[in-house]
Amino acid sequence: MDIPGKNVPWIHILLLYFHIITASGKYHWYSSLHKPWCYKWECCNEKWVPRNYNELLSKLNSELFGQHLVHNVVFSAIKGHIDYQSAKPLVLSFHGTTGTGKNHVSQLIAKSWFRKGMESKFVHVYSGTKDFPYRSDQDIKRYKNRLQTEIKRETKNCKYSIFIFDEIDSFPAGLLNSIRSYLEHYPMVDGVDYRNTIFILLSNTGGNTLKDITFDFYRRGRDRKDIKLGETEKEMVVEVFNDKDTGFSRSRLIDTHLISHYIPFLPLERDHVRWCIRNEMIRRSLNPTQVDVIDEVLDELQFHGVDQMFSVKGLQKRCRKVVVCGH
């Protein structure tokens, strides 16, 4: 008498096991079994790309100071992008003077999106000064081809890729037009679906407008938390659109409404920088109750504006100062 299954090839049993796992909804385990290397090496699956907006909210609450508009818009935009199938990629345009936290928030998004954060192979950063330093027609053509090739390839590798364009002000005029088709309301472009990707643009343009608005609120004794998005967005976008010396110049991203959100980063006040220093001390395993160290770091930083209340370098310079003063 034959025993059921005795002569069934082992591969058929394994495939049946995969089918049972898939039918039970345990896709994560199925993916790992199907691609065993994904246990150890990064893959574009739920294990490595959790897209955890609750973690993002936690990080924004604990690591972002003085930027209530950023907090509200970024969290809502990311959550909506995850919860609902968007008709286009999420395009976030960060604006503000140097050191107000644009890079920092980009990193927080990446940390909540990918298990490896900024170290993920699915995060792609382009710097205006480093990657696109030249301005000849031949160079710009080469840059456009590079962007199109790499964005298409990397999105094909992982539909949840994040592309960060740093120092947009240093991009050659018109270069951003090369990625326009990827940001449109299309389900597919050349066989690739870009709707789950995120594009983040970092620019200092618009910072002067934001500085004037913030200073005016301070002079009138009004709480900066009362600044509304509508009070900043219109004037900021006008400054961005009219500036002829930045990467937005001759760009069709603005007038074709392909940017999902313009996000204003306000100048940081002394108390905000104090909290940033405290967080940096905790991160470096220093004692955050050492008020003298915090005051020493603050004294080393530059402040300007009304009553010398607003930081010149904000988040960037204080990291180096903590190292110097904390040891």
Task: For domain 53-264, give the CATH number.
Answer: 3.40.50.300
Q: Is the pLDDT of residue 175 over 80?
A: yes
Give mean pLDDT, residues 77-98: 95
Q: Stretch 18-42: mean pLDDT, rounded?
A: 59
In which band, very low, low, confident or very high, does the pLDDT at 19 lie, cut at 50, 70 and 90? very low
With helix as H, strand as E and coil as C, how does the chain read?
CCCCCCCCCHHHHHHHHHHHHHHCCCHHHHHHHHCHHHHCCCCCCCCCCCCCHHHHHHHHHHHCCCCHHHHHHHHHHHHHHHHCCCCCCEEEEEECCCCCCHHHHHHHHHHHHCCCHHHCCCEEEEEHHHHCCCCCHHHHHHHHHHHHHHHHHHHHHCCCCEEEEECHHHCCCCHHHHHHHHHCCCCCECCECCCCCEEEEEECCCHHHHHHHHHHHHHCCCCHHHCCHHHHHHHHHHHHHHCCCCCCCCCCCCCCCCCCEEEECCCCEHHHHHHHHHHHHHHCCCCCCCHHHHHHHHHHCCEECHHHCEECCHHHHHHHHHHHHHC
Query: Where do the domains of the chain lie?
Result: 10-39, 53-264, 270-326
pLDDT at 32 over 60: no
- pLDDT tens for 230-240 read 999 989 988 88
Q: Average pLDDT of the chain? A: 85
